[in-house]
């Protein structure tokens, strides 16, 4: 579907470009700063909200520019306090984001694409087509809207952001980095990049690019199998980005940035939950300066035949990692009752 208008999105203008525009219409330079503050700090989602600009000027802006913004289309509240939102884009696509609360943290799980092209076998989004990338201002909107929910429901600002929603962030590289630049900028949300984690299914070339760009945020690799044969079965991307290539890329990333690396590993019954699987994970962990391995319980989806292991199997797996000095944490899923847990986002009605 085509975007609703051909007018330039005002949020895609830099401050200096806004100054140039206001000069070109014979207005004062400081108007640019006022408009910029409304867009990025006061989180206006329309020209009408820019109340310290005259009505005539707001109309002129509306004539000259578009202001496409995400809107909350539906909200679901889980029994465990998790809040899932379905956002509607200006061109009528849907994308989901999740607020995950704990006592210590309020985390936004945000999406980077509408749908996904990677077809991971255990993930609901992987069974959808990728419609398009989200623009950086749309990703920013997700964070702003989830932060407003956190303030309303928990009276706390977001403490963390994870790019673990719909889509592969590193296949929307420029928009994700630009969104993070806006989120961390003092004239944006002013959040520390150390509180942001970008999760990837494993695009080796782009992991290296993150290193070259000296990013300051954390990186998580969705691993889910520690050998190529098994990983190929559940994650087709592994066929062109082998574990050896990812190990090399992650070491390069760490050498360039020193940033924290996490492995994400979902346990699937009778697939990757044996002692041999744990041994392979230990071996891989020792090849990369990873800070942590998140062991995640599987959340069933209609399209896949996987199920989660019995508790005693999970316990043995964790014990084996611990015995081998792997810093591992078992992550219990949140929001399962509203399909908001890891791997469940699919724009369900």
Taking a C-beta distance cutoff of 8 angstroms, is the pair 13, 32 a contact?
no
Helix (H) or strand (E) holding 87: strand 83-88
What 3-state class would DSSP assign to 266? strand
Predicted pLDDT of residue 2 = 45
- 245 and 194 within one domain: yes
- 257 and 146 within one domain: yes
Length of the chain: 349
Domain assignment present for residue 42? The answer is yes
- 142 and 80 within one domain: yes
Predicted pLDDT of residue 336 = 62
- 264 and 229 within one domain: yes
Domain assignment present for residue 224? The answer is yes
Domain assignment present for residue 152? The answer is yes
CATH number at residue 247: 3.20.20.70
Measured from the Cβ of residue 157, the count of other Cβ atoms closer than 10 Å reads 12
Predicted pLDDT of residue 317 = 97
Domain assignment present for residue 323? The answer is yes
- 62 and 77 within one domain: no
- 158 and 244 within one domain: yes
- 221 and 142 within one domain: yes
Considering 66, 93, 108, which residue would you say is the last residue of a domain? 66
Taking a C-beta distance cutoff of 8 angstroms, is the pair 188, 140 a contact?
yes
Q: In the structure encoding, which two tokens stand for residue 156, read together?
A: 């706390």
d(CA 75, CA 150) in angstroms, rounded, equals 13
Considering 45, 66, 87, which residue would you say is the last residue of a domain? 66
Considering 66, 81, 105, which residue would you say is the last residue of a domain? 66
- 231 and 161 within one domain: yes
Q: What are phi and psi of 11, to 5 degrees?
A: -75, -10
Q: In the structure encoding, which two tokens stand for residue 99, read together?
A: 């607020």
Q: What are phi and psi of 92, to 5 degrees?
A: 65, 30
Predicted pLDDT of residue 340 = 53
- 197 and 53 within one domain: no
CATH number at residue 50: 1.10.150.530
Sequence-separated (6 or more) residues with CB below 8 Å from residue 144: 43, 189
Domain assignment present for residue 2? The answer is no
Torsion of CA 190, 193, 197, 202, to 10 degrees: 130
Domain assignment present for residue 7? The answer is no
- DSSP assignment letter at 285: H
- 145 and 56 within one domain: no
Closest CA to 96 of 157, 195, 167: 167
User: Pairing mode, if any, of strands 8-9 and 65-66?
Assistant: parallel
Which active-site residues does the annotation give?
96, 342
Residue-wise pLDDT tens for the chain (349 aa)? 444 448 999 999 999 999 999 999 999 999 999 999 999 999 999 999 999 999 999 999 999 999 999 999 999 998 889 999 999 999 999 999 999 999 999 999 999 999 888 888 888 776 787 899 999 999 999 999 999 999 999 999 999 999 999 999 999 999 999 999 999 999 999 999 999 999 999 999 999 999 999 999 999 999 999 999 999 999 999 999 999 999 999 999 999 999 999 999 999 999 999 999 999 999 999 999 999 999 998 887 777 788 889 999 999 999 999 999 999 999 876 666 655 555 454 544 4
77 CB burial (10 A radius; 0-12, 13-18, 19+): middle
- 159 and 235 within one domain: yes
Report the number of distinct structural domains present in the chain: 2
- 234 and 98 within one domain: yes
Closest CA to 32 of 16, 51, 12, 11: 16
Domain assignment present for residue 143? The answer is yes
Measured from the Cβ of residue 329, the count of other Cβ atoms closer than 10 Å reads 12
Q: Which residues pair with 107 in a beta bridge?
A: 100, 160
Domain assignment present for residue 10? The answer is no
Can you give the residue range of the structural domain that contains 45?
A: 15-66
Compute CA 165 distance to the chain's CA centroid, rounded to the nearest angstrom: 5
Predicted pLDDT of residue 116 = 86
């Amino acid at each position: 579907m085509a975007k609703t208008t051909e007018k330039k999105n005002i949020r895609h203008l830099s401050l200096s470009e806004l100054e140039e525009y206001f000069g070109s219409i014979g207005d004062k330079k400081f108007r640019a700063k006022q408009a910029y503050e409304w867009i990025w700090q006061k989180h206006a989602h329309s020209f009408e909200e820019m109340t310290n600009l005259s009505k005539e000027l707001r109309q002129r802006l509306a004539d000259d520019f578009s202001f496409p913004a995400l809107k909350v289309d539906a909200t679901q509240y889980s029994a465990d306090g998790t809040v899932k939102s379905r956002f509607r884009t200006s061109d009528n696509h849907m994308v989901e984001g999740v607020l995950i609360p704990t006592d210590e943290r309020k985390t936004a799980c945000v999406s980077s694409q509408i749908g996904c092209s990677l077809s991971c076998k255990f993930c609901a989004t992987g069974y959808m087509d990728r419609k398009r990338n989200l623009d950086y201002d749309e990703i920013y909107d997700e964070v702003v809207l989830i932060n407003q929910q956190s303030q309303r429901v928990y009276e706390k600002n977001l403490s963390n952001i994870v790019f673990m929603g719909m889509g592969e962030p590193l296949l929307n590289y420029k928009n994700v980095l630009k969104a993070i630049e806006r989120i961390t900028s003092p004239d944006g949300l002013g959040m520390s990049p150390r509180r942001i984690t970008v999760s990837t299914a494993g695009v080796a070339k782009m992991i290296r690019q993150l290193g070259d760009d000296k990013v300051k945020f954390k990186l998580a690799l969705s691993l889910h199998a520690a050998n190529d044969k098994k990983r190929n079965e559940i994650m087709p991307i592994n066929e062109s980005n082998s574990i050896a290539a990812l190990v090399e890329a992650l070491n390069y990333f760490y050498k360039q940035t020193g940033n924290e690396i996490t492995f994400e590993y979902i346990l699937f019954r009778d697939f990757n939950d044996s002692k041999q699987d744990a041994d392979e994970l230990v071996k891989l962990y020792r090849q990369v300066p990873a800070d942590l391995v998140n062991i995640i319980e599987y959340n069933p989806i209609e399209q896949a035949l996987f199920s989660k292991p019995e508790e005693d199997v999970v316990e043995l797996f964790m014990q084996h990692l611990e015995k081998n000095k792997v810093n591992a944490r078992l992550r219990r899923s949140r929001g399962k009752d509203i399909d908001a847990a890891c791997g469940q986002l699919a724009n369900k009605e």
